[in-house]
Structure 1
Amino acid sequence: MSLYKDLQAFYVQCTCSRSSKRFCTYKMLPLLVLLCTCLVLAMLILHLTVILETEENIYNVKEGMGEGETEQKEEDAGNVEEVIKLESLKDEAKKVFNNRPPELINNRDCQVHNFVFIKCMKCATETMGTILRRYALKNKLSVLLPRGINIYLGWPYMMESSDYRPSSSPSGNRYYNCLIEHAIYNASVMKSLFPHQTRFISIVREPWSHFKSTFHYFNMQKLAHIVSDTPLSTYLQDIDTYEKIYKSPEAASHRYCIPDRFSVTKNLMCHCLGMKTGFPEGMMDISKNSRAVQDFLNWTENEFALIMIAEYFHESLVLLKRMMCWTMKDIIYKRVNSAKYRYEENDGDQAIHQRWSRADYQMYNFFNESFWEKVIYQGKTFVQEVQVFTKIQNAVNVFCNFSTDSIKMDPMFNVTKTVLKIPTTKFSLDFTFTLEECELLSSDLLSALKEQHEEHSKYEDKDPPKRTC
Structure 2
Amino acid sequence: MNMLFRHGEFNNLSFAFPNGNSHYNFPNLFSASYVEGYSEGGNKTFNIMCHHMHFKFTEVEKVMPSDTFYFTILRNPITQMESLFTYNKASEPFRNAKSLEDFLKNSSAFYHANARDSYVAKNLLTFDLGFDPNGLGTRKNLKLTWQTIDTIFDLVLITEYFDESLILLKEALCWSYEDILSFPLNKRSNTTKKALSLEAQDKVKSWNNLDWQIYVYFNNSFWKLVEKFGWERMQREVNKLRMKRDEMAKICLQGEVDPKQLQDKSLMPFQSGLARILGYNLKPGLPTTFELLCKRLVTPELQYGSLLHDNQEGKQTPS
2:43 pairs with 1:184: no
Cα pair 1:233 1:346 within 8 Å, conserved: no
2:302 pairs with 1:439: no
Over 3 Å counting, the alpha-carbon distance change for 1:368 and 1:403 in structure 2 is farther
Over 3 Å counting, the alpha-carbon distance change for 1:389 and 1:166 in structure 2 is same
Cα pair 2:73 2:157 within 8 Å, conserved: yes
Equivalent residue for 1:449, pick from 284, 288, 308: 308
> Shift in Å at residue 311 of structure 1?
0.6
**Partner of 1:162 in structure 2?**
33
**Partner of 1:336 in structure 2?**
185
> Shift in Å at residue 263 of structure 1?
2.6
**Partner of 2:239 in structure 1?**
387
**Partner of 1:275 in structure 2?**
131
The size of the alignment, in residue pairs, is 283
> Shift in Å at residue 332 of structure 1?
1.0
Cα pair 1:247 1:263 within 8 Å, conserved: no
**Partner of 2:156 in structure 1?**
307
Equivalent residue for 1:378, pick from 213, 229, 232: 229
Q: Tell me, in whole angstroms, the C-alpha distance in 2 between the residues paired with 1:293 and 1:208.
A: 19
Deviations 1:371-421 (A, max 9, x none): 11111111232220111101111221222126559xxxxxxxxxxx744xx
Root mean square deviation of aligned Cα: 2.7
Query: Which aligned runs of 4 or more in structure 1 are off by greater than 6 angstroms?
Result: none
What code does the residue aligned with 2:9 have?
Answer: L
Q: Counterparts of 1:61-460 in structure 2 under 5 Å?
A: 129-148=1-20, 150-166=21-37, 173-219=43-89, 224-227=95-98, 231-244=99-112, 260-277=116-133, 285-339=134-188, 340=190, 341-343=192-194, 345-379=196-230, 380-401=232-253, 403=255, 418-419=286-287, 434-443=290-299, 444-458=303-317
What code does the residue aligned with 2:223 have?
Answer: W
> Shift in Å at residue 347 of structure 1?
4.9
Over 3 Å counting, the alpha-carbon distance change for 1:451 and 1:344 in structure 2 is closer
> Shift in Å at residue 274 of structure 1?
1.4
Cα pair 1:167 1:176 within 8 Å, conserved: no
Over 3 Å counting, the alpha-carbon distance change for 1:239 and 1:401 in structure 2 is same
Alignment TM-score, normalising by the size of structure 1: 0.56
> Shift in Å at residue 433 of structure 1?
6.2
**Partner of 1:58 in structure 2?**
none
Q: Tell me, in whole angstroms, the C-alpha distance in 2 between the residues paired with 1:344 and 1:374.
A: 31
Cα pair 2:123 2:211 within 8 Å, conserved: yes
> Shift in Å at residue 344 of structure 1?
5.6
Over 3 Å counting, the alpha-carbon distance change for 1:294 and 1:454 in structure 2 is same
Q: Tell me, in whole angstroms, the C-alpha distance in 1 between the residues paired with 2:146 and 2:244.
A: 35
State which structure, 1 or 2, has the greater radius of gyration over its C-alpha atoms: 1
What code does the residue aligned with 1:191 have?
Answer: E
> Shift in Å at residue 136 of structure 1?
0.9
Q: Tell me, in whole angstroms, the C-alpha distance in 2 between the residues paired with 1:358 and 1:324.
A: 32
Q: Tell me, in whole angstroms, the C-alpha distance in 1 between the residues paired with 2:214 and 2:114.
A: 24
Higher deviation after alignment, 261-270 or 384-393: 261-270
Over 3 Å counting, the alpha-carbon distance change for 1:167 and 1:458 in structure 2 is farther
Cα pair 1:334 1:402 within 8 Å, conserved: no
Q: What are the ranges of 5 or more consecutive residues in structure 2 without an aligned counterpart? A: 258-284
> Shift in Å at residue 154 of structure 1?
2.1
What code does the residue aligned with 1:359 have?
Answer: L
What code does the residue aligned with 2:95 have?
Answer: A
What code does the residue aligned with 2:235 have?
Answer: V
Q: Tell me, in whole angstroms, the C-alpha distance in 1 between the residues paired with 2:136 and 2:28.
A: 17
Q: Tell me, in whole angstroms, the C-alpha distance in 2 between the residues paired with 1:310 and 1:347.
A: 21
The alignment partner of 1:343 has SS state of coil
Cα pair 1:268 1:360 within 8 Å, conserved: yes
Over 3 Å counting, the alpha-carbon distance change for 1:322 and 1:213 in structure 2 is same
Higher RCO, 1 or 2 (CA under 8 Å, sep at least 6)? Answer: 1
Q: Tell me, in whole angstroms, the C-alpha distance in 1 between the residues paired with 2:239 and 2:78.
A: 28
What code does the residue aligned with 2:105 have?
Answer: Q
What code does the residue aligned with 1:450 have?
Answer: H
Over 3 Å counting, the alpha-carbon distance change for 1:456 and 1:396 in structure 2 is same
Q: Tell me, in whole angstroms, the C-alpha distance in 1 between the residues paired with 2:90 and 2:136.
A: 23
